A and B are shown apart, each in its own frame.
Chain A
């Protein structure tokens, strides 16, 4: 049964539907009081993990084995004193691969990655990233220096990617022992003297295509990009149908590596959907052209969709707004239904399959 885990400024909501994805049931809030930056199902055992933050009680991770009825919390999570850093926020949880029992990855601020090998009870800092030689060139974006994207190569168990704002994309090919910047061709227009540095790019969201793992997509502060060589080189894709290169979320079609969806905003200084409408832009040719999709979407509208607030599965695409609405499409983006409204500001959306 299709479901969505919707993290908000004030708790987690579960939206449930049937295969048509037109009618959605909204749960009562879970994890009340917590800001849920991201919640994700673990397909290996059916548990749910949430990156949770509180302005009083700090940053942590919660786990539920009963679909949100009860939760346990990480027992050990923090940065070693010798790093000189303290954990500011938890941002993104990524379950490990099938066969890696108990392994999870966690991204947080300030630009940090953790690994758990005991189903989220304890978390170890990935030293190779916290101590990366380029760290002094990293800078926080408006949301802090967040490690918000963690992508595992579906074929190579030693290859994975992280993206940090504003440090850029990094690739490991040795299971996290070392990290190489993967930002060639990605602009950092906010450095006018050196707009193509090795690191410092402001990635907003990074995705690996699940059926063509050498193909990566990113929505960046400075454009939309595609790579066809594991992030070694990137091609900038806007200027051919997109009203703006600035935006946060990006969605893919698991069955078609040439299809992607973005939701542009006017720009960095006015972070709201352009032209007084909420529009999703779709490419079906690898980003060479984009078309506006607005069937079922509100107009006029001046909204924003955050970097974690979109998702997709085999049967649909989904996103949530800071205004508390969730939209779902089951026809490749041609039409959308409002699956929920009047939720707290939405921080994250993740598709789940409640079997």
Chain B
């Protein structure tokens, strides 16, 4: 769904100091974050394969060469 919102593009190269600032620079930022600026509950963020919750969340520092992946949670049991 996110790729469809940006004409099918699946990768973005961004310069950012933190995971949060990297994600906020994306054209889908207002889908990934809610109106209070909080990461949506069912969006998982991985930095080089590790869930950012195991680091500092959106404040996780970046050195410049990391790969960030956005993945919708499994969300089993939701009425879809």
Contact = CB atoms under 8 A, between A and B. Distances in A.
B43 to A, nearest CB: 6
Nearest to A33: B1
A187 B5 CA distance: 44
A70 B7 CA distance: 8
Contacts of A56: 1, 40, 42-43, 72-73, 75
A78 interface: yes
Interface string A122-159: 00000000000000000000000000000000000000
A70 to B, nearest CB: 8
A217 interface: no
B80 A60 contact: no
B60 to A, nearest CB: 21
Nearest to B34: A58
B4 A58 contact: no
B32 to A, nearest CB: 7
Interface of chain A, main secondary structure: loop
Nearest to B33: A58
Interface in B4-51: 4-5, 7, 30-32, 34-36, 40, 42-43
A86 B73 CA distance: 21
A55 B36 contact: no
B4 A57 contact: no
B36 A73 contact: no
Interface string A88-125: 00000000000000000000000000000000000000
Interface string A34-69: 100000000000000000001111101000000000
A60 B35 contact: no
B35 A32 contact: no
Given A79-B35, A86-B35, A87-B35, A55 B1 contact: no
A58 B36 contact: no
A25 interface: no
A57 B31 contact: yes
Interface of A: 9-10, 32-34, 54-58, 60, 70-71, 73-79, 81, 86-87
